Amino acid sequence: MSRTTAKSFALSKLLARRIWLNAQGLEERAPFGDGSEATRLAVEHLGYVQIDTIHVIERCHHHILFTRIPDYRCAHLDQALSVDKTLFEYWAHALAYLPTRDMRFYIAAMKRHRQRPTSVKKEELRRVLSLLRKQGALTIRDIDDDVLVEKDHPWASRKPSKRALELAFDRGEVTISRRTGMLKTYELMSRHFGFEKPPRPATEGETLNYLLDRALRAQGVVSLDSICYGDAPRKPAMRRLIEARMRRKELIAVELEGAGKLEHWARPETLVASDMPAAELLHILSPFDPLVIQRQRLDLFFGYVHRFEAYIPKEKRVFGYFALPVLVGDEIAAVLDLKTDRMQQKLLVQQWTWLGKGARRERKMQIEEALHRFERFQLAR
C-alpha cells in the first residue's frame, strides 16, 4: 500500500508517549481497580501478560500486574487461573496469560500444532493423556516411571512424558490449571473449563480484527510492526484491514515525529487528547512489560534503547544483569539493576544508571520511595 492520500495527523513524540502510557494503564494510580477482579480486567485490557522463568526478582507476570494494580498479590493471578478460570496460558508472541474470553482466537493455532511433525512418540502422548483421564490433574513430578533420554536441546527435558505434555498443551488437549513457582499442573482442557466441546475457532478475518482492536486498545497509536509483533506473516492482510477501516473513517493515518516512513494509525477519538500535563507517576518496569518488550517502538517513542543483559558477558554489560527501566511521568529517567535476596529479606540495588535531564535529587527520593514499596511486594509471599 502506498502512503494514503488522506490527510494525516501530525503527532509529536510527547503526545504519542502520553497516548501509549494511557492505553497501557500507566497514567492512573489504579486504572483497573483493586483486588483479584482487577487482575482479570488488566489482562483483558492488555490482551496478554508475558510469562518468564527468570527469578532474580519476582517473576515478570506478577511484576507487570503489580505495576498497574497497587494492591496486587500473586494469589490474585492464581485465583484467576485456577479458580475463576478467567485466564488461561498459551502462546502469544511468547508464553503468556491470556483472557479466557479470547480463547477462540487461539484455537486455530492449537489445530495447526496437531498437523505439524513431532518427535514425540504416539504411545507417550496416549500414555500421559490416559494418566490425566484416570488420575486427574498432575505435574511432571507425579510421573516417576519415565525411562530418561538424552536431551536434544539445552532447555529440553530428559523425561519423555514432559515432552508429551508440552505437545498436548501446544495442541490444546491439556491446559495449565495451576502454577507453583514455575512447576505447572496439567489438566485436560475440556475438564478444566467444563467444555462439552471447545469454543468455535475464530476465522482468520475475525482474528485479524481481534489483533488490530487489541493493539489499538493497549497501544493507542499503532504500526504494522506493533500490531503483528512476532507474527510478521499476517502483515499484508493486516494492512488491507487497516485500509478498509480508513475508508470507513474508523482509523486515521498518523505522521509520528521522527518515525520517517514508518506508518502509524489511530482511532480519531484517541487523538483528541488533553493539553494538561501528564501525572508524574513513577513505575519500576519489568524488562518484559508490554511497554518495554517492543524495543524499537520504545526507542522511537521514548528515545531509550533497552538492553536485556542477563545473557551478555559481565564485562560487556552497560545497565547490569537484570536492568529495569524507571518511568517517571513520560520519561525513562533511570535504569536499576535489582536483585531480591530472599534469605536476607532485602531488595538489592546492584547498579543505578541515570538517564534524561530531570532533577535527579528530587527523583532519587521518589525512586527510593518506590523501591521500598517494590521491596515489600518482592517479599510478600
Each domain of the chain, given as residue ranges in start order, spans: 32-105, 107-193, 282-378
* CB proximity list for 95: less than 8 A, separation 6 or greater: 50, 51, 89
Q: 107-193 adopts what CATH topology?
A: Arc Repressor Mutant, subunit A (1.10.10)
How many angstroms separate the Cα of 106 from the Cα of each of 39, 69, 204, 349? 21, 27, 11, 40
Q: Got the DSSP string for 289-336?
A: STTTSSHHHHHHHHS------TTS-GGG-SS-TTEEEEEETTEEEEEE
**Measured between alpha carbons, how far is 118 from 316 in angstroms, rounded to an integer?**
38
Residues 6 or more apart whose Cβ sits within 8 Å of residue 306: 287, 292, 295, 298, 323, 325
Task: Tell me the backbone φ, ψ of residue 315, rounded to 5 degrees.
Answer: -70, -15
How many beta carbons lie within 10 A of that of residue 25, not counting itself?
A: 20
Check residue 284 and give its pLDDT.
Answer: 98
Q: How far is CA 98 from CA 233, 266, 272, 290, in A?
A: 22, 24, 30, 13
List the grid coordinates of 91: 502462546
Q: State the cell numbers at 176.
A: 495449565
Average pLDDT, 10 consecutive residues per value, the chain (381 residues): 64 96 96 94 98 94 97 96 97 97 97 94 95 95 71 61 95 96 94 93 98 98 98 98 98 97 96 67 97 98 96 96 96 96 96 85 92 95 65
**What pLDDT score was predicted for residue 1?**
40
The helix, strand and coil proportions of the chain, stated in percent and rounded to the nearest 5, come to 40, 20, 40
Query: Can you give the pLDDT at residue 2?
Result: 42
Residue given cell 496469560 in the structure block:
97
The owner of cell 558477558 is: 313
